[in-house]
Structure 1
Amino acid sequence: MIIDESLVFAIAIIIFALIIVLKGVRIVPQSDLYIVERLGKFNKVLHGGFHLIIPVVDSIRNVLTSREQLVDIEKQSVITKDNVNISIDGIVFCKVDDAQEATYNVVDFKNAIANLAMTTLRSEIGGMDLDDTLSNRETLNAKLQSELGSAAANWGIKVTRVEISDISVPAEIERAMNMQMEAEREKRAIETKARADKEAVIRKAEGFRQEEFLKAEAIERMADAKRYEQEQVAAGQMEAMRLINESMSYNKDGAEFLLAKDRVAAFKSLAESPSNDKMILPYDVTQMIGSTSVLGDAFFKGVSNENTNNA
């Protein structure tokens, strides 16, 4: 079977055209960034979606991702300001902010960030004491992020966060630190107890003073109340005497009425008494008995004086 040369040439042209078309079509995933060069020179950055490029003339120089990436800081030995050798490692979180600069301004931005982080870490910890290094981890993270962010900005990389994941100290230093912490806790406990005892003494003295003050105030108020009561009673008695005197000036029998009233009240109280050793006599009888007793006393007194004179 003889194949026509023109047909073969046409098929070859069609296949070549298909290859050229396929080479010119680029479908970029959403989070990827394609760096396109035209004849060896930067042309543009392809973001997620469907794109067409010129085959042979255009080529894909680099593929980056816009997602946040992790750069591990390998564990390394660092000497603090007070000459303590510690081991430290960490993680740097970053993302591509400018794909062109990340491609052309640095060979490998991850490796560059890792090495820069180790250098910066040595420099920062070298100016800090061990206690500051262990207690001010947040400050150290902020300083590292600031230093790395300034340098990585020239590479089109944004440093979003830096975390110191582990700080290890030698065993003998750890034992000394534990002893120091225990001594510090005991010291704080003693100081707290001393403050509590002092506060208790102060509160007790304050309570006693307040109690005595309240007692004195109560005594003073009771005295005032008693004085007021006496003044009111005296005023009432004085007013009663004034009224009695005023009444007696108009009626001379008023005094007899008052005495009779008091005698009636006294006899009533005596009569209501449960005692059996009592005898109630009329008022006239008592007057007679009184008069008789007076005459008897006078008689016996006269007899006694006469016997004395005769002797």
Structure 2
Amino acid sequence: MDFTIFTLILLAVVVIYLASGIKIVPQAELQVVERLGRYHRTLHGGLNFIIPVVDRVRSKFGTQEQVIDIPVQKVITRDNVSIVIDGLVFLRVNNAEHATYEILDLKHAIAQLAQTTLRSEIGKMDLDDTLSSRDTLNATLMIALDNASGGWGAKVTRVEISDISVPEAVQHAMELQLRAERERRATETEAEGLKNATIAKAEGDRQKAFKEAEAIERTADAKRYEQIQLAQGQQEAIVMLAQAMQSNPNAAEFLLAKDRIKAWEGIAASDSANKVVIPYEATELVGALSVLQGVLTQAGIASGTSSGATK
């Protein structure tokens, strides 16, 4: 009876001992195992076996991406403006052995390193650059933290500056500066618009004056051409008249008589019935009629002679 109880107890101890040597590690977790106080191996997700009492699990790390909050701190920019800044660091543990033995507290070390790096980098930048160059600041922080955490078995995947706060007085001064800058740009834009409008108006006036001058020049050319044609016509008429007078001495008297008759026709056509027209020189009128008759007679004789010659 006693032997049976002892056997059962011994069997239970063996079962418990063997069961304690079985380690089921969850997915996305790493466990560091020490054997007699020294690093032995790293257990990955799944079924693993260790030697109880001899082996023990020293530390556990998740392989998922972890977020470390950078504590809020005051920093001074290069232009001596005090600002409050905080941020986030994203990292992933890829070497559990280094994370266990190379650093005492990985997350605390990353947070402290991020703070010192932030103070150093912002001290090199002006306030305007700090507010407008977050991407550059994030990239600089990530490179610095990644180089340091590489020996600690971690990989920094991303750094984000979550908030940058400036003093109220500085913020008010920045708003005034921004308003003044906007007003200056508005004034410059308005001045530029007025200048362009003035230039366009001057160009339009110049084009109008040019077109008017061109029109006047063309009108003057047309009038000059008309006068030249009239003068040429009068010149040809005078030449023809001179030739006629040379060939017939009575041609001038014929023309004068023709004009006088035309004038008398106008007087005769007057509506006044109570007027008696007496020529100033009746003998000249009679002489003009005689000359006209002689010219017509000569013209008839010349025509008859020409017809007879033709026959």
1:162 to 1:214, Cα distance in 2 relative to 1, 3 A: farther
Pick the aligned partner of 2:174 from 160, 172, 177: 177
1:113-154 deviation line (CA, Å, top 9, x unaligned): 111111111111112111111111111111111111111111
What is the match of residue 101 of structure 1? Answer: 98
Q: Which residue of 2 aligns with 1:254?
A: none
Residue matched to 2:139: 142
Q: How many residues align?
A: 232
Aligned to 2:153: 156
For the aligned residue pairs, the C-alpha RMSD in angstroms reads 3.2
Shift of residue 213, structure 1, vs aligned partner: 7.4
| Cα distance in 2 between the residues matched to 1:190 and 1:182 | 12
Q: Percent identity?
A: 53
Write the distance in 1 (CA, Å) between the matches of 2:214 and 2:19. Answer: 106
Equivalents in 1 of 2:38, 2:48: separation in Å? 19
Counterpart of 1:125 in structure 2 is: 122
Out of 250, 263, 287, the residue aligned to residue 301 of structure 1 is 287
Task: Look up the match of 2:278.
Answer: none
1:74 equivalent to 2:71? Answer: yes
- Quick one: which of 56, 59, 63 aligns to 2:53? 56
Q: CA deviation at 1:217?
A: 9.3
TM-score normalised to structure 1 length: 0.66
Q: Give the whole-Å Cα distance in 2 for the aligned partners of 1:26 and 1:217.
A: 105
Aligned-pair CA distance for 1:302 = 6.3
Change (3 A) 1:177 1:36: same
Cα deviation digits, residues 36-55 of structure 1 (max 9, x gap): 11111111111111111111
Report the counterpart of residue 84 of structure 1 in structure 2: 81
* Counterpart residue number, 2:197: 200
Q: Look up the SS of the partner of 1:103 in the other structure.
A: helix
Q: Which runs of 5+ in 2 are unaligned?
A: 223-283, 292-311
Q: Provide the C-alpha distance between the structure 1 equivalents of 2:61 and 2:150, rounded to a whole number of angstroms.
A: 16
Task: Give 1:163 deviation, angstroms.
Answer: 0.9
Distance 1:178 1:8, change over 3 A: same
Tell me the alpha carbon deviations over residues 71-112 of structure 1, each in whole angstroms, 9 at most, x when there is no partner: 111111111111111111111111102111111100110000
Aligned to 1:248: none
Residue identity in the other structure for 1:20? Y
Quote the residue 1:9 is aligned against. Answer: 6
CA apart distance, 1:205: 4.6
Find the residue that maps to 1:128 and give its secondary structure: coil
Shift in CA distance, 138/219, structure 1 to aligned 2, threshold 3 Å: farther
Matched, 1:165 2:151: no
Unaligned runs of 5+ in 1: 227-297, 306-311
Secondary structure in 2 aligned to 1:200?
helix
